[in-house]
Chain A
């Protein structure tokens, strides 16, 4: 799980995601920022201040865990108040801020419940409120939505993003879910085997993957090998045309109807297999298995990959 030569420059107020498969070092990097792990070399700075040697409890960060890590022996209100108590905030102010924080995550009225009596989504909100109530300059999230079901997860994605923008907090978000990262982040660092493969805005990461790993990890991709140069071509950049206009001719092997689009696997005449995504509004019947098709694309859409 070691990380090697990771350099991340995260701007204030940014929603920054660390994306990669499990074991890529994203969680380790996050835990280094939090102070649970110490780097053998290298430093951690926040707002120009070197915090590498500060213990966890003096780093003044917020953190949300995948398991929520709520205090099971304390009520919702006590959970949220915890960070304020540690900072010796006066009692009346604690009460006020806890109330505000719970209102912010729409949990008003559940103050006296214990975590065990809440649903997963509610627990997630408590965890969020608990982290945000101390107004940390940096909020660290370790797969915070990983334990939620799909629908709730999407809803929480919106809420979290909205909350982050409203509060202007810098958010470092660890996920293995590329859709989640693409949907929420201002910028993404794609990690693999302890190294950062590419840092960039979601569109940049998606449209112009720099390495084969990034291209492959995010979305569907065709890798074209031409004279020793690998190029990445997204399925939706390939157009279906008549065989006479085609760069490549082939036959449809499978056609997966996905609602707004259809994903074809096309076997080209030269034996290559290509993925093609065709968006449609229902005016044209999708092609079926065994149909002869022609494929074409713009050269500029086939992105050169570093070897």
Chain B
């Protein structure tokens, strides 16, 4: 392409490329725009063109104790899942990449397996086991379930970083007098951190948006936001759903942005 003369009036390839990008963007953003229009439109159903702009659905969402309890529970669960999956996923990825473990391919597949299983089955199976061992459905049970499906994301991103990791850097630190523990904290950890946290962001979102796994594991008065929204839709399909969706989207987005700011996901390591 670049070899072609610059002044060519119309470059079909470039135009097609641009058109494809615009189409993709539109495809990704259009649903969000529709949700936003629904959220701001005062009628309790989607109408085009919108008849006005109102915050009544946001008001309803933030004014509902049920929605707020669910929102806080979801955030709390997602926060715990973020921390747990970073610890578990990061450690597992290190063990898988560095541990010289027998049956490493099998172990990797095993750790990834929660992604292969339909999430609804994971939820049902866990529900069954919780009932069987008689622990009921505590919040920590829900957190564990979410962590189960979130950990593979952290393992994936961490393994990607470890794969490109130049181990000479660790050796250099060792020669310079760093004990294995110090090598880990001074070199290994800072260098894999972007991968671990990128996975952590996924983990947070996976948990925050989690519906199928939660479906069976929530208890009365302890329902996460997606579950509450789903049940709400069956009785009241109005703009509060759209308002809740907007809030969810914005929350997820801000978590990504904050983590990006704090840790610099794109930083210095090639992902």
Question: Given the known A-B contacts A73-B191, A86-B182, are A134 and B268 also in contact in the complex, defined by CB atoms under 8 Å?
Answer: no
Q: Per-position contact with B for A69-111: 1 when CB-CB < 8 Å, else 0?
A: 1111100000000110011000000000000000000000000
Tell whether A34 is near chain B: CB-to-CB under 8 Å: yes
CB distance from B23 to the nearest CB of A (A): 36
Residues on A with beta carbons closer than 8 Å to the beta carbon of B178: 57, 82, 86
**B contacts with A, residue count (CB < 8 A):** 22
From 18 to 53 in chain B, residues with beta carbon under 8 angstroms from any chain A beta carbon are none
The smallest C-beta distance from A54 to any residue of chain B, in angstroms, reads 12
CB distance from B189 to the nearest CB of A (A): 10
A88's closest neighbor in chain B, by CB?
A: B177
Given known contacts A65-B171, A67-B168, A69-B166, A82 and B190 CB-to-CB distance under 8 angstroms: no
Report the Cα distance A58→B175, complex, angstroms. 8
Judging by beta carbons under 8 Å apart, are A70 and B169 in contact?
yes
A56 at the interface (CB under 8 A from B): yes
Is there a chain A Cβ closer than 8 Å to B250's Cβ? Answer: no
Known: A69-B168, A70-B169. A34 touches B176 (CB 8 A): no
Contact B176–A114 (Cβ < 8 Å): no
A69 and B171 within 8 A (CB): yes
How far is A58 from B178 in the complex, measured between Cα atoms in Å? Answer: 8
Q: Cβ of A69 and Cβ of B177 under 8 Å apart?
A: no
Provide the bound-state CA to CA distance between A83 and B176, in Å. 5
A116 contacts B268, CB within 8 Å?
yes
Question: A128 contacts the other chain (Cβ, under 8 Å)?
Answer: no
Interface presence of A181 (CB below 8 A): no
- Cross-chain pair count, CB within 8 angstroms: 73
B58 smallest CB distance to A (angstroms): 42
Q: Is the CB of B169 within 8 A of A61?
A: no
Q: Does A197 make an interface contact (CB < 8 A)?
A: no
Task: Judge whether A86 and B171 touch: CB under 8 Å.
Answer: no
Does B177 lie within 8 Å of A71, measured CB to CB? no
A36 pairs with B169, CB closer than 8 A = no
Residue contact B171 to A56, C-beta cutoff 8 Å: yes
A207 contacts B by Cβ under 8 Å: no
Q: A71 to B187, Cβ gap below 8 A? A: yes
CB under 8 Å from chain B, chain A span 40-65:
55-63, 65
Q: How distant is A35 from chain B, measured CB to nearest CB, in Å?
A: 8
Asked if residues B177 and A57 are in contact (CB atoms below 8 Å), the reply is yes
CA distance A36 to B172 in the complex (A): 11
| Contact with A72, one of B173, B179, B191 (Cβ below 8 angstroms) | B191
Q: Is B169 within 8 A of A69, CB to CB?
A: yes
Contacts of A87 in B (CB 8 A): 177
Tell me if B174 is interfacial: C-beta within 8 Å of chain A: yes
Residues of B within 8 A of A69 (CB): 166, 168-169, 171-172
Does B176 contact A65, Cβ atoms closer than 8 Å?
Answer: no
User: Nearest residue in A to B176 (C-beta to C-beta)?
Assistant: A83
A130 at the interface (CB under 8 A from B): yes
- Given A57, A71, A114, A134, which contacts B174 in the complex, CB threshold below 8 Å? A57
A170 vs chain B, min Cβ distance (A) = 15
A-facing residues in B207-249 (Cβ within 8 Å): none
B140 to chain A minimum Cβ distance, whole angstroms, is: 35
Tell me the bound Cα distance from A67 to B268 in angstroms. Answer: 16
On chain B, the residues within 8 Å of A61 by CB distance are: 175
B269 within 8 A of A: yes
Q: Which of B177, B182, B186 contacts A60 (CB 8 A)?
A: B177
A87 and B169 alpha carbons, distance in the complex (Å): 18
| A136 → B minimal CB distance (Å) | 9
Residue of A nearest to B170 (CB): A69
Q: Which of A60, A62, A71 makes the CB contact (< 8 A) with B173?
A: A71
> Taking each of B171, B177, B178, which has the highest tally of chain A beta carbons within 10 Å of its own beta carbon?
B177
A70 vs B186: C-alpha distance when bound (angstroms) = 13
Q: Which residues of A contact B267 (CB under 8 A)?
A: 73
Q: For A70, what are the chain B residues with a Cβ–Cβ distance below 8 Å? A: 169, 172
**A residues less than 8 Å from B269 (CB atoms):** 72
Is B171 in contact with A36, judged by CB distance below 8 angstroms?
yes
Of A34, A71, A73, which contacts B175 at CB under 8 A?
A34
Residues of A close to B171: CB separation below 8 A = 34, 36, 56, 63, 65, 69
Given A63-B172, A65-B171, A82-B173, are A57 and B179 also a contact pair (CB < 8 Å)? yes
Most chain A CB inside 10 Å of its own CB: which residue of B166, B168, B176, B186: B176
Ranked 4 nearest A-B pairs via Cβ: A86-B177, A83-B176, A69-B168, A69-B172
Q: What are 10 A-B interface contacts by the 8 Å CB criterion?
A: A57-B180, A61-B175, A65-B171, A72-B191, A73-B190, A73-B191, A82-B178, A116-B268, A130-B176, A134-B177
Residue positions of A touching B, CB distance < 8 A: 34, 36, 55-63, 65, 67, 69-73, 82-83, 86-87, 114, 116, 127, 130-131, 134, 140
Beyond known contacts A57-B174, A70-B169: 14 more, CB 8 A cutoff: A34-B175, A56-B174, A56-B175, A57-B178, A57-B182, A59-B175, A63-B171, A63-B175, A65-B168, A69-B168, A72-B268, A73-B190, A73-B268, A86-B182
